[in-house]
């Protein structure tokens, strides 16, 4: 009876450890205590890498103001904004949409209160890519903003220069004119349009008639950047 009791205790000890079982014809089988390695493969592993990039915004850095200075001569003349800081702007398209964008300008009538005088709404205000010729059909230069990395330069071939901006009596009534655009798939990243050091800076032009009144005229100029709506 004693040998039988010793045999039972030995078997119970083996199963209690949970490490060794009997498989086949008396062959011991050892089971690993942890999960199998997920990266084990041969000769190579093919896995999926996923990068999720969130949507940014479309923004613009525009001149703080526009300014012209001239002298009445009795003859019709064109005056350009000669302030270097006014001769360009920056569009940063971080939307990642590839929709493209437009820059538009609207302005109220150039008006003086003392003395009371106005400049005509039609054919007074215009813009192009020249500081020497108001009739030049040149577009402002474009370049990736220095220090901002790479960009996709805009395709502006849909705009005919110079662009005439018809002024109106009030801001609410002002009709915007598109002065620059990036066609769909272009203009991504930060892009400088014109600039005082550019080959073709932005020229802001005022036409002054020979019978204009000598005065200081002001206008409310609104510069807007917007995404091009996708096709319906």
Q: Examine the pLDDT at 10 and tell me if it is beyond 60.
A: no
pLDDT of residue 142: 98
For 113-162, the DSSP string reads ETTEEE--STTSEEEES-SS-TT--PPPPEEEPTTS--------TT--SS
Mean pLDDT within 114-119: 96
pTM: 0.78
How many domains are there within the chain?
Answer: 1
Instruction: Let me know if residue 142 belongs to a domain.
Output: yes
Q: Per residue in 128-183, pLDDT tens?
A: 999 999 999 999 999 999 999 899 999 999 999 999 999 999 888 878 999 999 99
Query: In terms of residue numbers, what domain contains 203?
Result: 58-227
- State how far the Cα of 225 lies from the Cα of 204, in Å rounded to an integer: 17
Q: Which of 43-47, 59-63, 98-102, 135-139 has the lowest mean pLDDT?
A: 43-47
Q: Band of the pLDDT at 15, cuts 50, 70, 90?
A: very low
Instruction: Let me know if residue 14 belongs to a domain.
Output: no
Instruction: Let me know if residue 75 belongs to a domain.
Output: yes
Instruction: Let me know if residue 35 belongs to a domain.
Output: no
Instruction: Let me know if residue 32 belongs to a domain.
Output: no
Q: Which of 218, 121, 225 shows the shortest CA–CA distance to 164?
A: 121
Instruction: Let me know if residue 45 belongs to a domain.
Output: no
pLDDT of residue 130: 98
Instruction: Let me know if residue 83 belongs to a domain.
Output: yes
- State how far the Cα of 19 lies from the Cα of 82, in Å rounded to an integer: 88
Q: Per residue in 25-46, pLDDT tens?
A: 444 544 445 544 566 788 888 8
Instruction: Let me know if residue 18 belongs to a domain.
Output: no
């Amino acid at each position: 009876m004693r040998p039988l009791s010793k045999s039972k205790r030995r078997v119970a000890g083996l199963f209690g450890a949970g490490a060794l079982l009997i498989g086949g014809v008396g062959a011991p089988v050892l089971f690993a205590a942890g999960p199998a390695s997920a990266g084990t493969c041969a000769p190579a592993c093919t896995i999926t890498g996923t990068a999720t990039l969130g949507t940014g915004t479309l923004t613009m850095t525009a001149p703080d103001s526009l300014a012209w200075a001239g002298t009445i001569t009795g003859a019709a003349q064109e005056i350009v904004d000669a302030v270097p800081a006014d001769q360009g702007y920056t569009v940063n398209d971080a939307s990642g949409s590839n929709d493209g964008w437009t820059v538009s300008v609207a302005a109220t009538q150039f008006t003086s209160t003392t003395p009371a005088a106005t400049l005509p709404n039609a054919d007074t205000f215009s813009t192009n890519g020249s500081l020497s010729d108001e009739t030049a059909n040149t577009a402002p230069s474009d370049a990736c903003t220095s220090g901002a990395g790479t960009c996709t330069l805009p395709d502006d071939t849909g705009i005919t220069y110079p662009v005439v901006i018809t002024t109106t009596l009030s801001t609410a009534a002002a009709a915007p004119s598109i002065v620059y655009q990036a066609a769909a798939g272009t203009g991504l990243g930060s892009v400088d349009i014109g600039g005082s050091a550019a080959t073709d800076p932005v020229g802001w032009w005022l036409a002054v008639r020979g019978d204009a009144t000598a005065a200081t005229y002001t206008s409310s100029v609104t510069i807007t950047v917007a995404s091009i709506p996708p096709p319906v």
